[in-house]
Structure 1
Amino acid sequence: MTRPPLAEDAAGTPVTGRPPSLWRNRDFTLLWSGQCLSDLGGSMADLALPLLVLQQSGSPARAGLVGTVGLATTMVCRLPAGVLADRFDRRRLMIACDAFRIAAYALLTCAVLAGAAGLPVILAVVAGSAAATALFSTAEHAAVRNLVRPDQIATAVARNEARAYGTSLAGPPLGGLLFGVGRALPFLGNTLSFLLSLAAVVCVRRPLQQLREPKAQGAGASAGQGVRFVLGHPFLRTLLLIAAPLNMAFTGMIFAMTLSLRDSGVPPFLVGLAGTIFALGGFLGAFAAPALQRRLRLPTLITLLCWTTAALMAVSTLLTTGVLAAVPLAAAVFLGPTANASLFGHQAAVTPDHLQGRVVSVVLLAAGSAAALAPALAGALLARWPAGTAMLVFPLLVTVAAVAATCSRGIRTASA
């Protein structure tokens, strides 16, 4: 197993000396800032869309359909997005995705103002935007190694984690506030956020991929090449075994905790506070990730985090009737960004540039599919057993990831 040498950048140009701060990396900071705004707008819209459907129809089932359609579209588009991100110019793909999302949400804003935003219109916007977002995020993830030095990849991933948690904290309250002022405002804000994202991508100077010869390989064969590379690489194969149960466990625990608190008579405000505590744990953890990475080698870090997360989740199952249950779970979420930064940073380092999009799509598809199943699993478990007993399934899933991290040769031999 090899990774790009610390003495060369993604294009093979020698680099020496201590790396400058990522804040001084113009291109990475431009892309990161644009996506901060884009993610914020997306978080606002994600809250406002089901509220709009609920207000129009009075049907929680129809409101839930919005989220289901978006998630299903994202999962279906993951592998094709990886093929496209490796086959075509990533910058042009990202610009096209932003242009499409600008048009979609501008039309939705106009439809809401005109009173013509029926369920079919909303679902069409959600599905189209989810497909564009799946392609954009895959291309962006694949492009990171071309914007930063190899020894800064993990730090860049950690910064992206901070972005995601930060916008998940700020977006929903802002979206609710804007929706209360005017139903079209969250969607107008999302339109503007995509416009600023588009401007940021256009202003990035460096190429987002290495030069390579075009190939006539079919889409199916191209996607299969990415799958074979992942399954044939010891580290990436283990990454699947770690990422899938971890994502399912976190999603399932948070969903089950929310249902359990509400079922125990906890007021909705406090249930919402628990969700804020979860997100805050991840937000703070993203800032701590670089320091933890500097002090611990990757194998030690991943095994420690997995076992610690399993223990913290087990503690949460003992506190299922009060908001205090969110505290150990938030501590587990605090460790998540460090694990993601280390694992996905190393993934970017060991994967050739021409396979980045496909490898990313395979890993995200596995992790995302597992997370998508978690709410249904949590609901079925809570319907059959008491909350504390039902939720033990999720720390057990993390234990599976911990065993994989402990025993895997791919993790043990990975360099920090």
Structure 2
Amino acid sequence: MEDDAGSPNTGRAPGLWRNHDFNLLWAGQCLSDLGGAMADLALPLLVLQQTGSPARAGLVGTAGLVAALVCRLPAGVLADRFDRRRLMIACDGVRIVVYAVLVCAVVAGRADLPLILAVVAVGAAATAVFSTAEHAAVRSLVRTDQIATAVARNEARTYGVSLAGPPLGGLLFGIGRALPFLGNALSFLMSLMAVLCIRRPLQQPRHEPAPAVGASVAQGFRFLLRQPFLRSLLLIAVPLNMAFTGMIFAMTLSLRRSGVSPFVVGLAGTIFALGGFLGAFAAPLLQRRLRLPVLIPLLCWVTAVLMTAGALLAGTVLAAVPLAAAVFLGPSANAALFGHQAAVTPDHLQGRVVSVLLLAAGSAAAPAPALAGALLAHAPASHAMLVFPLLVTAAALAATFSRGLSTTSETASP
């Protein structure tokens, strides 16, 4: 079987821009990511406006991260056990409903903190399942030699919509508090329609009965733990992800507390996203010039220095500039990591291995917004934000002295 995506086992395939099904999924997620970027900025601003508490605003961000974290492993099992297309459609349906409820509550003046927390948690859980299924489906939509490029395009998508999402979310929030959440609900509707139009199967046929849930999760862990290279990357990613999540959240709150308008707060997020957007375009070149054992330590040390500069500029829009420079190398590392993972992982294990990767990488990021809010409540922003470059320094030391990064990954048997 061969269509415009090409088959993994046949001749040379057309480029990704001519891959109908991959482009449908990619475009749908562009819109979905745009809505999510608007809502992510507007949610803490809504809570901050209602309560005046940075700690409660941080609690909302942490609620979403914790919900996603709890759902990661079950999401991997679901993505390998059930039809991925139907799973993604169901997730979009859930997200449409919960954000429509939030829109109605905001308009009616009944959007209290418990309701906001519930919407954030349910939406984040559905997003965790959707994103795991999407990651797992990439191998079915593109050739093996195109996976790293496809992941780099997904990185460009994420950062690209972040350029428009935060300022648009801030602008809409200033016009009407419900508008960013209405836009998010509509973006999920567009995502659902795109998934419905994909022609190609999103997984290979399953010929063997699925194992029990516990044994199914264990298979994903075993596969990942047999690869020293991936194990080392996960140990480095934990403090790195926590630092980035906390630093960006702290920057947003410190700007707002300094009297900066919501639109300018969103503009600061756009400056940060610009670094990742440009880095995604540079990813293919960087991957050819720098091997991952060189790229990862370089990323960590440069990030530690630049985050320190951002902390010293806390409370000003200029703080986003060094952070944008810090994230420039991130897309190259992510594309190489997930490209390698997808290439060596059998299709029937894709969901579970992806879920373990995302769980480990995001585990320390979950408390980061709450930590940022607590630090800002008890210390000046320029002092509080120095905690995050210290975390990156720990990751840089681990990357520099890790033996696993210098090993060659080998395909493990399931």
TM-score, scaled relative to structure 2 = 0.84
Structure 1 residue 210 displacement after superposition: 0.8
Per the TM alignment, residue 153 of structure 1 is displaced from its structure 2 partner at its CA by 0.5
Match of 1:5 in 2: none
Change (3 A) 1:312 1:70: closer
Q: CA deviation at 1:387?
A: 6.8
103-112 vs 82-91, which moves further: 103-112
Asked if the contact 2:163–2:271 (Cα under 8 Å) also holds between the matched residues in 1, the reply is no
- Structure 2 partner of 1:236: 230
Cα distance in 1 for partners of 2:46, 2:369 equals: 23
Who is 1:408 aligned against? 404
What amino acid sits opposite 1:296 in the alignment?
R
Going from structure 1 to structure 2, the CA distance change for 1:179 and 1:283 (only over 3 Å counts) comes to same
2:327 alignment counterpart? 333
Match of 2:297 in 1: 306
Matched, 1:176 2:180: no
- Code of the aligned partner of 2:209: K
Deviation, 1:175, is 1.5
Please tell me whether residue 14 in structure 1 is matched to residue 9 in structure 2.
Answer: yes
C-alpha offsets along residues 105-124 of structure 1, whole Å, 9 cap, x if unaligned?
22222233333333333222
1:161-310 paired onto structure 2 within 5 Å? 161-254=155-248, 275-293=269-287, 295-296=288-289, 300-310=291-301
1:138 aligns with 2:132: yes
Deviations, residues 319-364 of structure 1 (Å, cap 9, x unaligned): 7433666544432310100010011111111111111111111111
Equivalent AA in structure 2 for residue 408 of structure 1 = G
The structural deviation recorded for 1:311 is 3.6
Deviation at 1:275, TM superposition (A): 4.2
- Counterpart Cα distance in 2 of 1:70 and 1:202: 27
Match of 1:394 in 2: 391
Instruction: Give the equivalent residue in structure 2 for 1:3.
Output: none
* Counterpart-to-counterpart distance in 1, 2:307 and 2:125: 35
Question: Residues 388 and 199 (structure 1 numbering): CA distance in 2 closer, same or farther, change over 3 Å?
Answer: closer
- 1:402 maps to a residue whose letter is A
Report the alpha carbon displacement of residue 69 of structure 1 after superposing the two structures with TM: 1.5
Aligned with residue 28 of structure 2, among 12, 34, 46: 34
- Pick the aligned partner of 2:69 from 44, 51, 75: 75
Alpha-carbon separation, structure 2, partners of 1:411 and 1:55: 51
Number of corresponding residues: 401
**1:162·1:283 contact (CA, 8 Å) conserved in 2?**
yes
Contact 2:279/2:331 (CA < 8 Å) preserved in 1?
Answer: yes
Q: C-alpha distance in 2, partners of 1:21/1:106?
A: 38
Aligned mate of 2:108, from 111, 114, 117: 114
Tell whether the 8 Å contact from 2:375 to 2:384 is kept in structure 1 after alignment.
no
* Matched residue type, 2:394: L
Q: How far apart are residue 246 of structure 1 and its match? A: 3.0
What SS does structure 1 have at the residue aligned with 2:395?
Answer: helix
Q: Equivalents in 1 of 2:254, 2:96: separation in Å?
A: 39
Q: Given residue 36 of structure 2, which amino acid in structure 1 is its aligned partner?
A: G
C-alpha distance in structure 1 between counterparts of 2:62 and 2:72, whole Å? 16
Q: Is the 8 A contact 1:318 1:388 kept in 2?
A: no
**Residue type of the partner of 2:404?**
S
Deviation at 1:101, TM superposition (A): 1.1
CA distance in 2 between counterparts of 1:355 and 1:149 reads 17
Q: For 1:246 and 1:364, how far apart are their aligned partners in 2? A: 13
Instruction: Give the Cα–Cα distance (whole angstroms) in 1 for the partners of residues 235 and 333 of structure 2.
Output: 14
Tell me how far apart the structure 1 counterparts of residues 39 and 219 of structure 2 sit (CA, whole Å). 36
- What amino acid does structure 1 have at the position aligned with 2:28? G
Relative to structure 1, is the Cα distance of residues 399 and 161 closer, same or farther in structure 2, using a 3 angstrom cutoff?
Answer: same
Classify 1:262/1:64 alpha carbon distance in 2 versus 1 (closer, same or farther; 3 Å). Answer: closer
Select between 22-31 and 183-192 the one with higher mean Cα deviation: 183-192
Asked whether the 8 Å contact 1:41–1:189 carries over to 2, the reply is yes
Tell me, yes or no, if the aligned pair for 1:11 and 1:146 is still in contact at 8 Å: no
Distance 1:175 1:78, change over 3 A: same
Give the aligned partner of residue 47 of structure 1: 41
Give the Å deviation of 1:228.
Answer: 1.6
Does 2:64 align with 1:65?
Answer: no
Name the structure 2 match of 1:4. Answer: none
Query: CA 1:145 to 1:325, structure 2 compared with 1: closer, same or farther past 3 Å?
Result: same
The secondary structure found in structure 2 opposite 1:354 is helix
